[in-house]
Amino acid sequence: MEPVPYRVRERVVENRDSATLFLDPVNGALRTPRPGEFMMMYAFGIGEIAVSVSGISPEPETTVAHTVRAVGAVSTALRDAAVGSLVGLRGPFGTGWGHEVATGRELVIVAGGVGLAPLRPVIVDVLACRHMYGQVTVIAGARSRDDFLFTPELRQWSSRGSIDVHLTVDIPVQGWPGEVGFVTEPLRRLPVRPERTTAYLCGPEPMMRASAEVLMGKGLRASDIRVSLERNMQCGIGWCGHCQLGPLLLCRDGPVVGYDVADPLLAVKEL
């Protein structure tokens, strides 16, 4: 429960309300996280929030990256943390995406807004071991062109040609070369082989539900669709109960679960 100090080595502004912090351990490092897991990040003197891991160093005891969107006092303080300043980390906690067991399969990765951050480590891992997977499609949506995360990387992923990248915006502007509309639009046009496809979804719950319905309409099993769920995580270890979703404590049993688990829970309005 005690935060471990990490120093901000680098800060990259992603868009008007988000920044990525690259953090180095001051003394001892925490366990290297897996894609999909999260950390409890502490802004000293202000408070603590749960933030997904958006970058993982291949070397032990070195840099971990978190992309923070400013929505409150703690997240704003973390988003604005200066290079050289200290933040506290606890974790990593929760479940991972499990893409390492999807080798040989085709992947569909769908992200809405800041939901691209938890999926970035999956994309990086897949590109590093591209020969181990079949067709890989990334669909990322944002409100506008200026709201995308990791814009230089998105351009690089698109230009490499080894994965298929679709970018779509809700609000078009003059000169926007990509698609317009929800992520479900390119997803509906996407040909898939359902018996050998695994999907990873992260973003607002309505987006994930709509995307999962499109994929199941194409024949994917709900268990082959994995989603990252968000609730009010405060302790990270399943003690406080604030992140309860039906029988799940998402800090312990999630945040990543199969859609066969998530679907009946998300259908209950009170949850």
Secondary structure of the chain as H, E, C letters: CCCEEEEEEEEEEEECCEEEEEEEECCCCCCCCCCCCEEEEEECCCEEEEEEEEEECCCCCCCEEEEEECCCHHHHHHHCCCCCCEEEEEEEECCCCCHHHCCCCEEEEEEEHHHHHHHHHHHHHHHHCHHHCCCEEEEEEECCHHHCCCHHHHHHHHHHCCCEEEEEECCCCCCCCCEECCCHHHHHHCCCCHHHEEEEEECCHHHHHHHHHHHHHCCCCHHHEEEECCCCCCCCCCCCCCCEECCEEHHHHCCEEEHHHHHHHHCCCCC
Residue 243 marked as a ligand binder:
yes
Is 202 known as a binding-site position? no
Q: What residues form the annotated binding site for [2Fe-2S] cluster?
A: 235, 240, 243, 251
Q: What residues form the annotated binding site?
A: 235, 240, 243, 251
